[in-house]
Amino acid sequence: MSTQNALLTILVEKIKNDTLVLPTLPAVALKVRKAADDPDINLQDMGEVIGQDPSLSARMIKISNSAYMGRAVKVTSISQAVTRIGLRQIKNIATALAMEQLFVSKNELVGEYMKKEWANTVNVVANAMAALQMYITRTKKRELSLDTMTLMSLIHSIGVLPILTEAERHTEVFASPSFLDDAIDKLAPKVGGSIMRSWEFGEEFVVVAERWHDLAYIPEKLGYIDFVRVGAALAGQIDNKKDAVLNLAIQRGVVEDVNSLLSDDFAEMRAAAKQIFA
């Protein structure tokens, strides 16, 4: 039995027995989510929670001034930022901005993978957000929100993290990136679902993590998963299924046609979305 298969077996066992160490949400994201769920919270209190984390505060101000919020007047303080973004959206946006903290490793090779994974994920996010914006502009339908879309696309391949962490403990296998790619391909979706459950995210997040790459799964109603798939296809994450994903997206009315995804409008929106994470 090759080392690769042995490690794959270990991983599968750990997943089965629930002993795989799952990442925890960054502390600041937990605080913000808890605060947002408090029915008595007000904007000022929320500003204080975010204000405790200088890096998150700076990014919140940046996102308030981004093309996404589309206002001419610049905000300069966290309280203005919180007011502009609004309590409902802040929970998702703060979580999204904090997630980058998870994609780091002390091991050089794993660190490289993490960096690559984060860059990939940001591309998926930017594509999915741009696709949703074009959809809203075209259809005037607003049941899907950009802040939730951001978070949905950020967690779509979160299952990769524990696999990389586990591999960090067996660095001898790292001679083979092909092993990693294989393990990620086979196991990340299931692990992603487990992470979403352990973080107590809603069922829709679980479904996105577990099923986004499984094109046999087509929900009746158009949802975030449709946009995550377009985002992933455009980011080169599913090269062999790209045409299938885009055709399905056109059939389901996610996008009008392939040309709209090649348009300057789309490119501008995607660039604006990427700026948020730059």
pTM score, two decimals?
A: 0.90
C-alpha distance from residue 198 to each of 22, 33, 192, 202 (Å): 8, 14, 10, 10
pLDDT digits (tens, 9 = 90+) for 7-19: 778 888 888 888 8
Residue 175's pLDDT is 54
Please tell me the least confidently modeled range out of 58-62, 128-132, 208-212: 58-62
d(CA 258, CA 249): 9
Residue 1's pLDDT is 54
Helix (H) or strand (E) holding 70: none
Work out the mean pLDDT of the chain and round it to a whole number.
Answer: 89
Residue 182 structure tokens: 């294989």
Confidence category of residue 174, pLDDT binned at 50, 70, 90: low
Return the number of other C-beta atoms located less than 10 Å from residue 209's C-beta.
27
Give the residue with greater pLDDT, 3 vs 260.
260
Residue 173's pLDDT is 63
Residue 83's pLDDT is 87
Residue 68's pLDDT is 73
